[in-house]
Amino acid sequence: MIKAGVIGGTGYTGVELLRLLTAHPDASITVISSRSEKGARVCDVFPSLRGHVDLSFCDPDEADLAGCDVVFAATPNGVAMTHARALMDSGVRLIDLSADFRIRDIDEWGRWYQLEHACPELVAEAVYGLPEMNRERICDARLVANPGCYPTAVVLGLLPLLEQGLVDPQNLIADAKSGVSGAGRGAAVSSLLCEVSDSFKAYGVAGHRHLPEIRQGLAQVAGESVGLTFVPHLVPMIRGIEATLYARLLDTGVELTELYAERYADEPFVDVMPAGSHPDTRSVRGSNCLRLACHQPQDGGVAVILAVEDNLVKGAAGQAIQNMNLMFGFDETTGLQALPLSP
């Protein structure tokens, strides 16, 4: 049984981590920190955890994080990097769910996040925690940069095409939609029910913070820089991401569904649906599953890939636990076998 700590346990990602960790047979939650809820019982803040988590929130500066085997940082950007060096010097493995260690180019990271990195020397060591790409490296990692929600859907959606050199890497389009929980739990007018309900809009068209992360991941697969147009949208639902991906085929004779099914045949959390399917976000809600479907509409010159995931699970907390399982030699699916919620 390993000891797990959570820094920042009051956001949607944090409480999702707690929900999933309580069901994990090989991990015990020993520390949960929050400055805003210091001293409050976790089950009083989140009644859904009554009877499962008997801890109180503590100040992260006072928490015994060094006594943990693994710490999850479910914090705003710029926080995990202030804890990383001390944790790693204490032999604690860190899984960061923020963006502090995702982008290898420190200058580019600074431009997008408007911060100065507190420990740039650790960025090169951090392993990007997308198991379907970096499984072997994750197993040995001390520091894992858990991918963002949009990047998970987009990179896994385009990965087989780029790996095989079947599409023009300079002409990629990602049209993605997210539920409101992706904006976090902080109070904001843009997240109010009356603002979001009965409405649908694009945002971040000029540039979203996940864009450099997606480009980096796709370039790793393609072996060269990529040209990507990425447009996210906000839809009036709580959980879920749907990404419709477009890529111009260099070989129109390839059978896309067979290609994807073969590439992901051994991946426990990627489900390739029959050709012509249209997966919906409801089919993955509450699970660590990412579903894909392949299309070649009209003249067949463009591949259209549909990807759906739960942004709080495969797009965040579930993938973090998947990474923990790999890092500690557990079966990769441990604690993550729950079926999607329906309806």
CATH superfamily ID and name for 2-125: NAD(P)-binding Rossmann-like Domain (3.40.50.720)
- Rg of the chain in Å (alpha carbons): 20
Whether the CA torsion 6, 11, 15, 17 is positive or negative: it is negative
pLDDT band at 192 (very low <50, low <70, confident <90, very high): confident
DSSP state letters, 206-257 = T--THHHHHHHHHHHHHTS---EEEEEEE-S-SS-EEEEEEEEES-TT--HH
Looking at residue 33, its pLDDT comes to 94
For the segment 38-52, what is each residue's pLDDT rounded down to a tens digit?
A: 999 999 999 999 999
User: If you average pLDDT over every residue of the chain, what do you get?
Assistant: 96
pLDDT at residue 184 above 90? no
Task: Specify the amino acid at residue 200.
Answer: F
How many whole angstroms from its chain centre is CA 84?
19
Would you give the end-to-end CA distance of the chain in angstroms? 34
For the segment 17-39, what is each residue's pLDDT rounded down to a tens digit?
A: 999 999 999 999 999 999 989 99
Looking at residue 193, its pLDDT comes to 86
Indicate where the chain has its CATH 3.30.360.10 domain(s). 150-310
For the segment 107-162, what is each residue's pLDDT rounded down to a tens digit?
A: 999 999 999 999 999 999 999 999 999 999 999 999 999 999 999 999 999 999 99
Higher pLDDT, 95 or 61: 95
Q: How far apart are CA 133 and CA 156, in angstroms?
A: 9
Indicate where the chain has its CATH 3.40.50.720 domain(s). 2-125
Q: How far is CA 274 from CA 77, 256, 264, 291, in A?
A: 38, 10, 13, 11
Of 233, 179, 230, residue with least CA distance to 201? 233
Catalytic site residues? Answer: 149
The CATH architecture assigned to 150-310 reads 2-Layer Sandwich (3.30)
pLDDT at residue 238 above 90? yes
